[in-house]
Structure 1
Amino acid sequence: MEPFAKQAAGNGSVTLPIALWSERYPQLSAGFTSRIGGVSGEPFGSLNCGLHVGDDPAAVVTNRRRLADALGIPFAASTYAEQVHGKEIQVVSRSLRGAGNDSRDKALQAKDGFVTNEPGVFLFAQFADCVPLYFYDPIRRAVGLAHAGWKGTVLQIAQATLETMGAAYGTKPRDVIAAIGPSIGACCYEVDDAVISRVDKLLPELHGLGGGAEGVVAVYERKSEGKYNLNLQQLNRQIMIKAGILPSHIEITGLCTSCRTDLFFSHRKENGKTGRMAAWIGLKEQ
């Protein structure tokens, strides 16, 4: 069953919360936005959450406010960062709550992963094909969110996020539940030798995990000379397992952002001129 279930809010914004998590952990809010239900004009139509893509900043902030309203959280709790395709993780204390929600200058700088154990602090990251990674430790009540393009993936940002949660909160990977959200699928993600050479360096570390060597090899398929279809979702799953998350604790989407431009923005499908979805996670205040 698809873990990210489409849901329309009263203000017209369409989001995709992680349904099973919402049922099991009512104190937790996590999911992914669609492109539907905002105020941005084309080519950012219409729920663009990215301030960095050339859209009218006032429209983006309105969209972010609409999103917070749809999620039932204060806009002041929405915390954003400037992402750089790295693996740096920010521990977000309550003093950083709301960073970047209405301005790039005020965002957390050069961070692609975020963790917090503070109720009422909601983490947001932006996507238009890259892979959103979600982490929840129900024992120590801590959450994490990471942005994994191919660079962040081979840098193992999933493992870096878990290590940061461990250092900050005492999180043990075996206790963590994780999810891999809507992103470009292997069906549409063609890469070259330069990318695959980085993936190949990582594969020996993953050998034998999540179904054996065949499961690891299947993270990419050679299509022609120097061209491959890469499955970033499955590669991140293997990295999570290597880091100690139980395979049964990982939810993985079947949604491809490139296939579903009716629902999502896709940087690759739309030739780089498009908006951004937001992934979010946070603990509700009691």
Structure 2
Amino acid sequence: MTTNLYINNSKFIAGMTMKNDAEPEHNNMALHACENSKRIVENRQKLAISLQYELDDFVCANQTHSANFHRVTPEDKGRGARQMDTAITDTDALYTYEPNIVLCSFTADCVPVIFYNEVKGLIGVIHSGWQGTAKEITLKLFEHLTQAEQCNPSDFHVQIGVALSQEKFEVDEDVYVKFKNLGYADEFMYHNEQTHKYHIDNQLTVQKQCVLAGIPAEQIMMDRTCTYVDPSGFSYREDKKSGRHLSFIVRKGD
């Protein structure tokens, strides 16, 4: 099994591709971190077929660890699906009201956030590495959706995907200070006296940002698989040439 399916009902399908040594480039899905782009496109084609969509229904962004988000329209269909230069630029979160568009996000240790709002028919994906979390991309997007898109926060359902565990996410004081300055992440950090490193739970910090945005805690699911420890995980910390997971969500057409 190379895909974790988190949601699969009559209205939405969402999940995350996993590392698989039997597939080309271990089922890597990222054009920006690969050996052969043709193999990546083939891997994406397989995913599209399994979801019963076309690869040209996919929308991908050029992620830059920003707090930028983009509302996807029908004109965006296929952007970044087959080549990097057509991807949505400088963006780390995508959302849309459109059916039959597969929103994509790429991670290898960073926190992927997948969400839907059934009342509004809205779906989205967020890439939140430690920089994105420190910039509060998740909180800012949900605040935007509440204010600009008139969404009720209590209508959101969130899935936080596999990421680097707190045990393996060790940082120096500069990163610790950024999280400390958030004002609500203290309980998700500890200091290792032996190594003089700080350990941060990025997943729980992102979950806290969802709660601060008004999303009910019971509507936030989390996959605690560690990308570093688990053989099905791509970890940039472990291997700088690592591939990437693809997190996705699509709202099925009427």
Interval containing the TM-score (normalised by the shorter chain): over 0.9
**Contact between 2:110 and 2:127, CA under 8 Å: does it hold in 1?**
yes
Give the match for residue 15 of structure 1.
3
**1:232-243 to 2 correspondences below 5 Å:** 232-243=202-213
Deviations 1:40-92 (A, max 9, x none): 3xxxx321111111421111111111111122221111111110001100000
Alpha-carbon distance between aligned partners in 1 of 2:14 and 2:55, rounded to the nearest angstrom: 16
Does 2:242 match 1:274?
yes
| Equivalences for residues 152-231 of structure 1 within 5 A | 152-167=132-147, 169-203=149-183, 206=184, 216-224=185-193, 226-231=196-201
The whole-number CA distance in structure 2 between the counterparts of 1:53 and 1:156 is 25
Code of the aligned partner of 2:79: A
Q: CA deviation at 1:144?
A: 1.3
User: 1:248 is matched by which residue type in structure 2?
Assistant: E
Residue in 2 aligned with 1:28? 12
Measured in 2, the distance between the counterparts of 1:150 and 1:177 equals: 22
Cα displacement (A) at 1:234: 0.4
Q: Which residue of 2 aligns with 1:87?
A: 67
- Give 1:259's aligned amino acid: V
SS at match of 1:62: helix
Shift in Å, 1:167: 4.8
- Number of the residue aligned with 1:253: 223
Any conservation in 2 of the 1:35–1:46 contact (CA below 8 Å)? Answer: yes
Preserved contact between residue 30 and residue 279 of structure 1 (Cα < 8 Å): yes
What do the CA deviations read for 1:177-199 (whole angstroms, capped 9, x no partner)?
A: 11111000112111110100000
**In the alignment, is the contact (CA less than 8 A) between 1:142 and 1:165 conserved in 2?**
no
Match in the other structure for 2:45: 65
Aligned counterparts of 1:85 and 1:229: Cα–Cα separation in 2:
20
Residues 34, 40 of structure 2: 8 Å contact kept: no
By how many angstroms is 1:97 displaced? 1.0
Residues 96 and 123 in structure 2, CA contact (< 8 A), matched pair in contact too = yes
The alignment yields a C-alpha RMSD, in angstroms, of 1.5
Distance of 2:147 and 2:141 partners within structure 1 = 10
1:263 aligns with 2:247: no
Q: Give CA deviations for 1:146-175 in whole Å, capped at 9, x if unaligned.
A: 000001001111112213333553211121
Select between 168-177 and 61-70 the one with higher mean Cα deviation: 168-177
What is the rounded CA distance, in whole Å, between the counterparts of 2:146 and 2:95 in structure 1? Answer: 10
In structure 2, what is the Cα distance between the partners aligned to 1:112 and 1:32?
A: 16
Q: Secondary structure at the match of 1:218?
A: helix
Q: Is the 8 A contact 1:144 1:165 kept in 2?
A: no
Distance 1:199 1:281, change over 3 A: same
Query: 2:214 matched to which residue of 1?
Result: 244
Where structure 2 has 5 or more consecutive residues not aligned to the other structure, the ranges are: none
Amino acid at match of 1:159: L
Amino acid at match of 1:223: N
State the secondary structure of the residue aligned to 1:254.
Answer: coil
TM (norm. structure 1) is 0.85
